[in-house]
Amino acid sequence: MQPDYKYAAPALTALNPSVRNKVLRNTYLMLGLTMIPTMVGSAFGVNTDFSFLAQSPVIGSLAMLAAMVGLMFAVSATRNSMWGIALLFLFTFVAGWWMGPLLQYALQFSNGARLIGLAAAGTGIIFFTLASVATITRKDFGFLRNFLLAGLILVILASLANLFLAIPAISLAISAAAILLFSGFILFDVSRIVSGGETNYIMATLGIYLSLYNLFISLVQLLLALSGEKD
């Protein structure tokens, strides 16, 4: 049975530049398309009443995290079919919707819309810069793997702890650390595609999307903390 090149390239991708470049192009195309359900979801999120979170913010956050992790596993399980694309779009819609509370909070500031725009621009600049570095240099950034995984665990644990502590200084430190962490993940993920380590563009898109999503959220939170202006 021949492999399905629509979703995954063969294991010899690292030795086949044309196939490797096709995976990279498909990843960037799919990444651009995922922005559509994300923006639609965020529009719904801005207009959603999230008052139920005030009653149990920890349980609500953990439940939503569990739902998103479940969708990620579903995308992974169907990554070699059209269902993988459909579930990826569903995941990005839900992720956009879940930004609702943050965007609602940001828009309470007189300069909130501008800071959201700056965060989006900053996310784009960081992505294009790091993606260009990984693509042009073709350097293997696989050595970052253990550092990034350790950093991710620390950020997750600190975030969970701060759900109970709610200390602004810790939130600020987490946002700053997350910006560095997910910038590193972008470099690592694009490098894996370039080197042939990731041959499935659906999974490649999911990985980079998660980095961009968390990078954007962290930038919004940091900008609001440092430059937010209340009416």
The confidence score (pLDDT) of residue 61 equals: 78
Give the span between the Cα atoms of 187 and 134, in whole angstroms: 6
Cα–Cα distance measured from residue 20 to residue 187, given in angstroms and rounded to the nearest whole number: 17
pLDDT at 220: 96
Predicted confidence at residue 148, as pLDDT, reads 94
Q: In 3D, which of 119, 90, 87 has the Cα closest to residue 102?
A: 119
Per-residue pLDDT, averaged over 63-86, amounts to: 93
Look at 131-135, 141-145, 155-159, 160-164 and tell me which has the smallest mean pLDDT.
160-164
- pLDDT per residue over 184-221, tens digit each? 999 999 999 888 888 899 999 999 999 999 999 999 99
Q: How far apart are CA 89 and CA 209, in angstroms?
A: 11
**Tens of pLDDT, residues 90-101:** 999 999 999 999
How far, in Å, CA of 29 to CA of 201, rounded?
10
Report DSSP letters for 171-187, one per residue.
HHHHHHHHHHHHHHHHH
Predicted TM-score (pTM) above 0.85: yes
**Average pLDDT for the chain:** 88
- Determine the pLDDT at residue 63: 84
Q: What pLDDT shows up at residue 2? A: 36
Output the pLDDT for position 231: 67
Dump pLDDT digits (tens) for 79-123.
999 999 999 999 999 999 999 999 999 999 999 999 999 999 999
User: Residue 1: pLDDT band by 50, 70, 90 thresholds?
Assistant: very low
